[in-house]
């Protein structure tokens, strides 16, 4: 199975040993961040630093001034954590070490955009804005994300891209020092708390036959016993229908899935138009279409008709691969994403066994999260695991 390791430019730039160290793991490919959200990251082996603080979402290369002239929203450039063409510098070093480089592009996840342009945010039924979550129903935001996908994905020398957060974001997100776990919202509660009530979404609900004000009131009423701990809010989609009622629940889902599907189609088309022949386009995806987050909720049959494949979270179990495998054609890429940082809940020691289980469920490739964050001991386990799979 072809394996690729995720890395940031700051894992490579300034560390002349990094490219060879990554190649020595046994991976054939590196998935290198070209556009990324704010983060604080360890760099356990870097000769110049141990912690990198990326203060806001940014592109990690110089954006095309002509493309973005006079536009809002537009990409933010990185600060001193990734100066200049940080992506290009790192990519060149990795290619010189014999590694194939693909871009890693984070899209609808940008807290600086939400802070500076509050109207772009998802707004919940209580009127609270989620600054980390751009509303993907808004036309200007959709145009921005589509053009950003094309620009950030198709960097010089890249053989493909992985598009993360290409769909709805909601409440469930580690935003700064996150303190939202006090009430167990469950799958249904997360959905209701992720419904957007910005003007564009209100108009979208109206087109589905829903009045937004009564809908928001119904969401608040449905959640009240959940806040009190008097009722569960799990049960998948059936739980959403139970809380909100089947007809309104399915109307909101129809609106949201249309916005996500058409954005995904537009973004992938824009990438393909900008890319050379043979350029691979994958999405980080969840096969439950109403789910929100970095792994966008999708319909497997639809997304595999649009993109070349998907990257699927498989840490702790590879069951999410099955709905994609059932729809895969010859040549479809199903990449099992396994966390290999033990301090982040990963299990590098069981990499070979986890990869074998994923392969049995249809995985054709591996993604290893994250070579730059892992300890030396974790990387030794990764190297041993990949050697046993060879």
Question: What count of other Cβ atoms lies within 10 Å of the Cβ of residue 344?
Answer: 13
Question: ∠155-282-304 over CA atoms, to 5°?
Answer: 145
Angle between helices 246-274 and 139-153 (to 10 degrees): 40
Token output for 377: 């001991």
Domain-located, residue 235: no
Would you write out the chain's pLDDT as a tens digit for each of its 390 residues? 999 999 999 999 999 999 999 999 999 999 999 999 999 999 999 999 999 999 999 999 999 999 999 999 999 999 999 999 999 999 999 999 999 999 999 999 999 999 999 999 999 999 999 999 999 999 999 999 999 999 999 999 999 999 999 999 999 876 676 767 778 888 999 999 999 999 999 999 999 999 999 999 999 999 999 898 877 778 899 999 999 999 999 999 999 999 999 999 999 999 999 999 999 999 999 999 999 999 999 999 999 999 999 999 999 999 999 999 999 999 999 999 999 999 999 999 999 999 999 999 999 999 999 999 999 999 999 999 999 998
Domain-located, residue 246: no
Looking at the 3D structure of the chain, how many domains does it have?
Answer: 1
Exposed / middle / buried, residue 208 (Cβ in 10 Å: 0-12, 13-18, 19+)? middle
Token output for 233: 């809010």
Residue 141 near residue 120, CB atoms below 8 Å: yes
Q: Domain range spanning residue 140?
A: 2-182+279-389
Domain-located, residue 366: yes
Residue 136 near residue 108, CB atoms below 8 Å: yes
Q: Among residues 366, 310, 365, which one has the least CA distance to residue 339?
A: 366
Classify strands 51-54 and 39-42 as parallel, antiparallel or unpaired: antiparallel
Angle between helices 351-360 and 376-389 (to 10 degrees): 50
Question: ∠272-277-281 over CA atoms, to 5°?
Answer: 45
H/E segment holding residue 334 = strand 333-339
Domain-located, residue 157: yes
Domain-located, residue 208: no
Q: Which CATH number does the domain housing residue 40 bear?
A: 3.20.20.80
Q: Is omega for the bond preceding 370 within 30 degrees of 0, making it cis?
A: yes
Whole-angstrom distance, CA of residue 5 vs CA of residue 366: 8
Whole-angstrom distance, CA of residue 8 vs CA of residue 11: 5
pLDDT of 182 reads: 79
Tell me how far CA of residue 346 lies from CA of 38, 131, 338, 354, 358, in angstroms.
22, 29, 7, 11, 15
Question: What count of other Cβ atoms lies within 10 Å of the Cβ of residue 280?
Answer: 17
Classify strands 51-54 and 121-123 as parallel, antiparallel or unpaired: unpaired
Phi, psi at 284, each rounded to 5°:
-75, 120
Token output for 161: 């891209």
Whole-angstrom distance, CA of residue 45 vs CA of residue 252: 48
Domain-located, residue 192: no
pLDDT of 179 reads: 67
pLDDT of 205 reads: 98
Q: Among residues 195, 36, 166, which one has the least CA distance to residue 104?
A: 36
pLDDT digits (tens, 9 = 90+) for 219-265: 999 999 989 887 777 889 999 999 999 999 999 999 999 999 999 99
Domain-located, residue 234: no
């Amino acid at each position: 199975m072809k394996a690729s390791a995720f890395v940031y430019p700051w894992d490579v730039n300034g560390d002349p040993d990094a490219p060879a160290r990554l190649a020595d793991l046994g991976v054939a490919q590196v998935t290198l961040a070209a556009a990324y959200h704010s983060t604080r990251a360890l760099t356990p082996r870097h000769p110049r630093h141990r912690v990198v603080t990326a203060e806001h979402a940014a592109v990690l290369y110089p954006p095309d001034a002509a493309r973005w002239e006079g536009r809002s929203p537009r990409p933010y450039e990185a600060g001193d954590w990734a100066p200049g063409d940080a992506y290009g510098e790192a990519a060149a070093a990795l290619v010189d070490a014999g590694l194939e480089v693909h871009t890693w592009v984070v899209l609808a996840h940008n807290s600086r955009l939400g802070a500076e342009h509050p109207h772009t945010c998802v707004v919940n039924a209580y009127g609270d804005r989620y600054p980390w979550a751009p509303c993907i129903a808004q036309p200007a935001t959709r145009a921005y994300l589509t053009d950003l996908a094309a620009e950030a994905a198709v960097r010089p020398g890249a053989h493909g891209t992985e598009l993360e957060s290409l769909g709805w974001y909601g409440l469930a997100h580690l935003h700064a020092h996150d303190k939202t776990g006090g009430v167990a919202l469950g799958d249904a509660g997360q959905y209701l708390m992720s419904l957007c009530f910005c003007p564009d979404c209100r108009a979208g609900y109206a087109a589905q036959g829903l009045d937004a004000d009564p809908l928001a009131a119904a969401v608040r009423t449905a959640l009240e016993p959940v806040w009190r701990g008097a009722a569960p809010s799990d049960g998948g989609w059936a739980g959403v229908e139970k809380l909100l009622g089947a007809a309104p629940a399915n109307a909101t889902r129809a609106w949201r899935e249309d916005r996500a599907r058409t954005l995904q189609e537009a973004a992938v088309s824009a990438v393909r138009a900008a890319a050379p022949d043979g350029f691979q386009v994958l999405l980080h995806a969840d096969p439950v279409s109403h789910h929100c987050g970095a792994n966008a909720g999708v319909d497997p049959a639809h997304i595999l008709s649009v993109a070349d494949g998907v990257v699927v979270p498989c840490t702790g179990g590879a069951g999410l691969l099955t709905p994609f495998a059932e729809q895969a054609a010859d040549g479809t890429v199903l990449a099992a994403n396994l966390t290999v940082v033990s301090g982040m809940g990963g299990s590098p020691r069981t990499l070979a066994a986890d990869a074998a289980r994923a392969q049995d469920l249809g995985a054709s490739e591996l993604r290893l999260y994250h070579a730059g964050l892992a300890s030396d001991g974790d990387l030794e386990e990764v190297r041993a695991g990949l050697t046993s799979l060879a």
